[in-house]
Each structure stands twice: as structure tokens, then as C-alpha cells.
Chain A
Amino acid sequence: MANLETQILDDIIVTGRRKLLTLGSAALAGLVLGSAKEAHAATTYNDSDILNFALNLEYLEANFYYLAAFGCTIDKPNAAAIAAGAPAAGIPITGSVGTAGTVTGGSKVPFVTTQVASYAIETAIEEGKHVLFLQSALSTLAVAQPAINLGTSWQMLGSALTPAAPTFTPYDSEADFLLGAYVFEDVGVTAYHGAASLLTVSGNLSAAAGILAVEAYHAGLVRTTINTLDTTGTTLIPVTNAISNLRAALAVQVAASTTYDPSPDDYGLATFQVSLAGGANVTATRLVDAAADNSKTFAIATARTVGQVLNIVTGGSSFKNGALTSPATGVFYPNGMNAGPNGFK
């Protein structure tokens, strides 16, 4: 796999800036589907713009997990982080594009079970590797870490939930940590999924597919663990449904629903009814975040456009007065994302 990085780097250099699809028509996972709202300029993006968008998301995820698992940010690993496999020199947060921003908020979670603690450590290390991989693949085109809010952002998010949870923080218990992780992971899946068909360089697609798989492993891990902890379905699972409902509402603001990505395009962990061959409806868990309409969606995961993902991670600020606005700022990205001259923000 070491060769993959080299190959991707070469591909980016050789292929250079290629044509590209517009944010609206192509990011729309569902090319199969119909048209979606195209309330945005027909800007074209190249592979590096797309990978930099992913890098912005990875900076956010990696810092969240580093803070939760170790109590430090990715650029200043403490002894616990290094012992678990973090690079001793830290993960760089500077880049050729944009100014390195700081991370506010966040603290180590008081873990009490081996299960959740070990999952947090594993995920932190893996998200850090994704940052390093994308930086390496992008080389001189890589963006710096944007300013990231991992403190008061959680209360902003909590306030937007129904029912509202205005004092929510993911750092005070294992259960709340899992809910915080839940906020990110399914979004990561939909973002890489939506990006896949935008990429034009074969090596980039392979890498994106590989990271998509890992984000889905993380998402499945988080959903499984929450499902295991909430044996009555009354404590954590209703919160997952509230989070999914919010994400779905923010996504549909930007793009209309489609066959494979219907509205709502996001589902919490509450059980649902399914029809199995040769039998009546039975109750099923919802460990996979995929729509489940027998006639349409075929249990295929949602893909979101860059605009939809931006709107989610900025709490709706990228969509104002019926159109996408740029830069989108708010919630986790108080100053917006770092992007090149043509990149997503």
C-alpha cells in the first residue's frame, strides 16, 4: 500500500487538473436518479479540490477522537497518544493552502469499559492516519487545518435537535462520547460515497473507496456499540434518531430527494419492519444507515453531495435564502473550511 501513495501522487501530478463535474450534477450520487436542486454556481473541481474537502473533514474527526481518547490534539500528541501509536512528532496541521487554525474545546473522556476505550483509541489512530495519507497524497496542494470548534459546537448542535439537548457534550461519559462519534461517522460515509464518482484518477478512486470502507467500519462500530448499550431502546437510541433526523433535514435543504437518496436520507437506531423471503414482516435492527424502502432503495447507503455535507457540518449555514453560500461557517468550522481557489467551502 505504500505504493498506493506514490501512485496517487503521480496520478495527481501527471493528470493535473482535469475537467470536472459540477458540484450539483455529479456529486449527486444518484446519477441514476433524477435531477436535484442546483442552487449553486457551476464551478468545476478537480481531484485535489475533492481530496482537500475530505482532508478538512478528517482534521475534524481526527482531532475529536484524539481529544476524546487521549486528551490532546493531533499536532501535539501526549504520552498516551504516542504509546497508542500516534506519531511522536505529531501530525502536521500546516499546509500550502490556508492558515493553520486552532482547535477549541474537547477533553479526554472518562472511559470505564475496555470495549469503548479500545474502540476510541483505534479510531483516533486511524483517523490520524487518514489525515497523514491525504496530506501525503496532496503534497504541496494540501490545505492546512482549519479552525475547529469541538467545544461549544456540541451545544449548538444539541440545541438544534428535537427534542433539544442544549447542554450536550460528548466528553463527560462513554455514552455521550458514542453519540458524538455517531454525529460524524455516518456523515463521513456519505461524504466519501458522494465523492467517489467525482474523482477522475483511478488511484484516487481506489483510495477513496478504501477510506469509505473504513468510515463505514467506524460507523458500524459506533452504531453497534450504542445498540448494545441501550438494551431498552429508550436512552441512547432516541438521540440517534434525533441526530439522524437533523442531518436529513440539513441535507434536503440543499438537494432534493432522489430514488437512492430519499428524504429522509438518514436513520437512527430505532428498529424497523422488513419483509424477508417467504415470510411476513419481521423486526430488524438498523445497524446500517441505509434507507429501507422495499421498492426503491435496495439497502444501498446514502451518498451526499459536498454541499449537503457542508450544510450538515456547519449546522445549516451553507444554505441561506434558497441557495448555497460560500464560505459556509458555523458549528464545527467557525471560520469555514480551508480550500484552494476553486475548492469547496
Chain B
Amino acid sequence: MDTKLNSLIDKALSRRNFLAGAGSVAAVGLMAGCANDGVTNMSGGSSTGSYTDADVLNFALNLEYLEAQFYLYAATGHGLATTDTSIPSGYTGTYTMGTVTTNSSVAQVGGGITAAQQQIINEIAYEEQEHVRFLRAALGPAAVPMPNIDLTFFAPLASLASNGALTSFSPFASFDAFLVGAFIFEDVGVTAYAGAAPLITAAGVASGYLTAAAGILAVEAYHAAYIRTAITGRAIAAGSATAYPYITYANDVAALRATLTVGNSGAPGTGTGNTGAAGSSTSVEVPLALPTGLTTPSSIVAADSKTAIGFARSVNQVHHIVYGSATVGAKSGGFFPSGTNSIFSTTTA
């Protein structure tokens, strides 16, 4: 982690546009067919631009693999079935199926969780599993297999976020720890889909991919709201951030996410959250508030402070976060020790 920490300090990243080539996306020729389940298949896409709709959806698929593995291990102690991670029939790409790195801490959430809490983890695990299946079905033979995923990265990430205060954090240790682990992903998922949706070509819109992406965006926001509401509510019940340190852990994560993407389009000017000038946000992070009494607002929603419109992140910003690295040119790291199976896998400024 020292390397990453140093890179955080050293990097002075230059601003850039949303995404390389974003302005020159060309329509994608889709060979639309129908899979057995009625999902339109988009295999064989070609493009005269820098990437295709399939590339955008495969980027999302990488994130869904990660989320699904995390939630399934949390719910059951096991990950996705091989049929949901393997190379699809007819695949002509070069990516190979990876494995999930675990250790003894990666297990069904412990700490004496209640039946009601288990049901919540079950729901999110199920929905993320279905998102993997949806994207694989939609992509058909173009779907990339699961990359290598490291579910032991939570501990070093928490150490980084807390400036070394947390040395052995595991999101599987208790329900409260699970909430913090989920917090790492969910707001990012929302912003990733919000950023990816406008990248879909007109042909992709006509094929229903925009609508599907918007539908997944909504579900990710429901999840994010659950996590933020649960952490806020439990902190209110406990009475203070001292009594419920998980709210601080979550906000440390939000601050770290901001730091990892500093300098990028739409990214924050500081690592401390929404500290932009009055009337406009320069951060895509909104830390959780701890309301007191009946007259102060909560901050469940992560949105622009002036317009109350949700944020978007570029594919590059998302990669910086899931790699746990502000380094430009990083090809792997963090949750993806061999990188994502995506043409966007190398981070940029």
C-alpha cells in the first residue's frame, strides 16, 4: 500500500475531458438477434469509433462481477456459479476467466446478524447476481469472462481511507462492517451507470440498452439509498459518531474515493467531499450527515448541492477507485489484481 499512498501524494493529475474519444463515438453496427430469454443479443458489434456499445456494457459487467461476488460471499460464503463467470459460447476475445482471491475473513457475514439483516443481504446479492446474468445475456458471445477479483482488498483500502487507523477491517465481520463494505461500491455503481448511459449509441438506444442501463442505475441507487439510510439511522440511534464509528469509516471511504479521482473531469478539488464553491459542486461525493433533532436534514442522497441531480463518473474515474489508485497508467490493482477485462482498463489522467 505504500506505493499507492505515495502515488496519492505525488500525483498532480491534469484535467481532461470525460473520456478519451467520447466525442467521437460512432454508431455501432449491431447484429441483433434474440437469445432464448428474449434479451436482444448484441454480439459482433463493430464500430468506427474508439469503442462500441459492447465495450460500454462490458465495462459495467466487470463492476457487476465484483459487486455480485462481494454480496454473494456476504450472503452465503460462496461466489457466483461458474456458468455466470465463464467464457461464453462463441467468444472470440482474448480475456480469460479469472478467480476470486479470498482469505479466512471472506465468509458469510458474521457477528450475530439478525434474520432481517440476512434477508437484506440476500436481496442485494440476488439483484447483483441478476445484473451479471442480464449483461451476459445481452452481450451474448461478446460478454467478457470474469476477471481476477480480490475480495481481500477491503483491509488495505480501509487502512488507506483511515490513514492507517484501521489495520484489519473486514466487511464480513459484522452487519455494520458489511454496510461500510457495501458503501464502497454502491454510490460508485450509481455514478458509473449515470456516466455510461450517455455513451450508448443511437443504435444501442434503439436496441433498449439505454433503458436497461437506466433500470440498473435505478436499482443501484435503491441499494445505495438502503446503505446510506441504514448507516445514518444506526448512527442516529447510537447517538454519535463516537458511539457508531462506522459512519466515520464510510465518510473516510467517500473522501478517499474523491482523492483517487482528483483532477479528473467532474472530480473534486479536494479530498474531503462536497466542498465546492457555493451553488456548485466540485465533488461527486456527499458525506453522510448525522442529523440531530427534528429540524436538521439528513444527507442520504448523493447529489449536486444546487440542482439535486445525481452525479456521474467517467469509466476512468471508476477504474481509479476500484484499483484503489490515483496513478495514471495503472493497468490493475485493488479489487482487480490483473485489471478489468475491459478496453478501458488502463487508467488515464
Query: A residues bordering B, Cβ < 8 Å?
Result: 1-2, 4-5, 29-33, 80, 83-85, 111-112, 114-115, 117-119, 121-122, 125-127, 129-130, 132-133, 189, 192-193, 196-197, 202, 205-207, 209-214, 216-221, 223-225, 228, 231, 259-260, 271, 274-279, 282-290, 292, 294-303
- Is the CB–CB distance between B306 and A2 below 8 Å? yes
Which residue from B38, B120, B130, B295 sits with its C-beta under 8 Å from A299?
Answer: B130
- Is the CB–CB distance between A225 and B134 below 8 Å? no
- Is the CB–CB distance between B229 and A221 below 8 Å? yes
B116 on interface, CB distance cutoff 8 Å = yes
- Is the CB–CB distance between A210 and B303 below 8 Å? yes
Give 6 pairs: A residue, B residue, CB < 8 Å, sorted on A: A4-B307, A4-B309, A29-B211, A205-B197, A217-B224, A231-B116
- Is the CB–CB distance between A260 and B215 below 8 Å? yes
- Is the CB–CB distance between B303 and A126 below 8 Å? yes
Output the least CB separation between A233 and chain B (Å).
Answer: 9
| B210 CB contacts on chain A under 8 angstroms | 196-197, 205
Instruction: Tell me the interface secondary structure of chain B in the complex.
Output: helix
Output the least CB separation between B70 and chain A (Å).
Answer: 13
Which residue from B78, B222, B233 sits with its C-beta under 8 Å from A220?
Answer: B222
- Is the CB–CB distance between B218 and A1 below 8 Å? no
Given A121-B296, A285-B123, A219 and B212 contact (CB-CB distance below 8 Å): no
- Is the CB–CB distance between A85 and B297 below 8 Å? yes
Given A278-B81, A299-B131, A1 and B280 contact (CB-CB distance below 8 Å): yes
- Is the CB–CB distance between B217 and A274 below 8 Å? no
- Is the CB–CB distance between A202 and B198 below 8 Å? yes
Which residue from A211, A220, A276 sits with its C-beta under 8 Å from B125?
Answer: A276
Which residue from B125, B129, B211, B299 sits with its C-beta under 8 Å from A32?
Answer: B211
Task: Look across to chain B and name the residue whose beta carbon is closest to the beta carbon of A272.
Answer: B123
Task: Look across to chain A and name the residue whose beta carbon is closest to the beta carbon of B39.
Answer: A32
| B130 CB contacts on chain A under 8 angstroms | 292, 294, 297-300
| A119 CB contacts on chain B under 8 angstroms | 229, 298, 300
Q: Determine the distance from Cα of A288 to Cα of B218 in the docked complex, in whole angstroms.
A: 9
Q: Determine the distance from Cα of A338 to Cα of B296 in the docked complex, in whole angstroms.
A: 34
B199-233 residues with Cβ-Cβ distance < 8 A to A are: 205-208, 210-212, 214-226, 228-230, 232-233
Output the least CB separation between B129 and chain A (Å).
Answer: 6
Which residue from B72, B217, B292 sits with its C-beta under 8 Å from A114?
Answer: B292
| B280 CB contacts on chain A under 8 angstroms | 1-2
Which residue from A1, A115, A118, A298 sits with its C-beta under 8 Å from B309?
Answer: A1
Task: Look across to chain A and name the residue whose beta carbon is closest to the beta carbon of B311.
Answer: A210
- Is the CB–CB distance between B309 and A133 below 8 Å? yes
Task: Look across to chain A and name the residue whose beta carbon is closest to the beta carbon of B218.
Answer: A301
B63-103 residues with Cβ-Cβ distance < 8 A to A are: 72, 75-76, 78-81, 84
Interface residues on B, range: 35 or more
Q: Determine the distance from Cα of A281 to Cα of B218 in the docked complex, in whole angstroms.
A: 25
Task: Look across to chain B and name the residue whose beta carbon is closest to the beta carbon of A294.
Answer: B130
Output the least CB separation between B92 and chain A (Å).
Answer: 24
- Is the CB–CB distance between B194 and A210 below 8 Å? yes
Q: Determine the distance from Cα of A193 to Cα of B214 in the docked complex, in whole angstroms.
A: 6
Output the least CB separation between B308 and chain A (Å).
Answer: 4
- Is the CB–CB distance between A276 and B75 below 8 Å? yes
Which residue from A115, A214, A278 sits with its C-beta under 8 Å from B308?
Answer: A214
- Is the CB–CB distance between A224 and B229 below 8 Å? yes
B19 on interface, CB distance cutoff 8 Å = no
Q: Determine the distance from Cα of A260 to Cα of B303 in the docked complex, in whole angstroms.
A: 28
With A197-B214, A220-B229 already in contact, 12 other A-B pairs whose C-beta atoms are closer than 8 Å: A1-B280, A80-B295, A118-B232, A126-B301, A130-B308, A212-B217, A231-B116, A278-B76, A282-B75, A286-B123, A287-B222, A300-B212
Enumerate the 8 nearest inter-chain pairs by beta-carbon distance, A residue then B residue, closest first: A220-B225, A213-B310, A32-B208, A216-B221, A298-B134, A118-B291, A210-B309, A300-B215
- Is the CB–CB distance between A303 and B211 below 8 Å? yes
Q: Determine the distance from Cα of A223 to Cα of B230 in the docked complex, in whole angstroms.
A: 11
- Is the CB–CB distance between B215 and A126 below 8 Å? no
| A114 CB contacts on chain B under 8 angstroms | 236, 291-294
- Is the CB–CB distance between B127 and A296 below 8 Å? no
Output the least CB separation between B243 and chain A (Å).
Answer: 14
| B299 CB contacts on chain A under 8 angstroms | 122
Which residue from A132, A133, A193 sits with its C-beta under 8 Å from B211?
Answer: A193
B19-49 residues with Cβ-Cβ distance < 8 A to A are: 37-40
- Is the CB–CB distance between A278 and B206 below 8 Å? no
Task: Look across to chain A and name the residue whose beta carbon is closest to the beta carbon of B130.
Answer: A299
Q: Determine the distance from Cα of A127 to Cα of B301 in the docked complex, in whole angstroms.
A: 11
- Is the CB–CB distance between A276 and B126 below 8 Å? yes
| A223 CB contacts on chain B under 8 angstroms | 222, 226
Q: Determine the distance from Cα of A292 to Cα of B37 in the docked complex, in whole angstroms.
A: 14
- Is the CB–CB distance between A213 and B303 below 8 Å? yes
| B279 CB contacts on chain A under 8 angstroms | 2
Which residue from A2, A279, A303 sits with its C-beta under 8 Å from B215?
Answer: A303
- Is the CB–CB distance between A197 and B122 below 8 Å? no
| B206 CB contacts on chain A under 8 angstroms | 31
| A80 CB contacts on chain B under 8 angstroms | 295
Q: Determine the distance from Cα of A112 to Cα of B236 in the docked complex, in whole angstroms.
A: 13
- Is the CB–CB distance between A216 and B297 below 8 Å? no
B312 on interface, CB distance cutoff 8 Å = yes
Which residue from A85, A189, A197, A295 sits with its C-beta under 8 Å from B37?
Answer: A295
Task: Look across to chain A and name the residue whose beta carbon is closest to the beta carbon of B117.
Answer: A285
Given A219-B222, A284-B123, A210 and B312 contact (CB-CB distance below 8 Å): yes
- Is the CB–CB distance between B218 and A193 below 8 Å? yes
Q: Determine the distance from Cα of A83 to Cα of B226 in the docked complex, in whole angstroms.
A: 27
- Is the CB–CB distance between A193 and B309 below 8 Å? no
B133 on interface, CB distance cutoff 8 Å = yes
- Is the CB–CB distance between A1 and B300 below 8 Å? no
B255 on interface, CB distance cutoff 8 Å = no
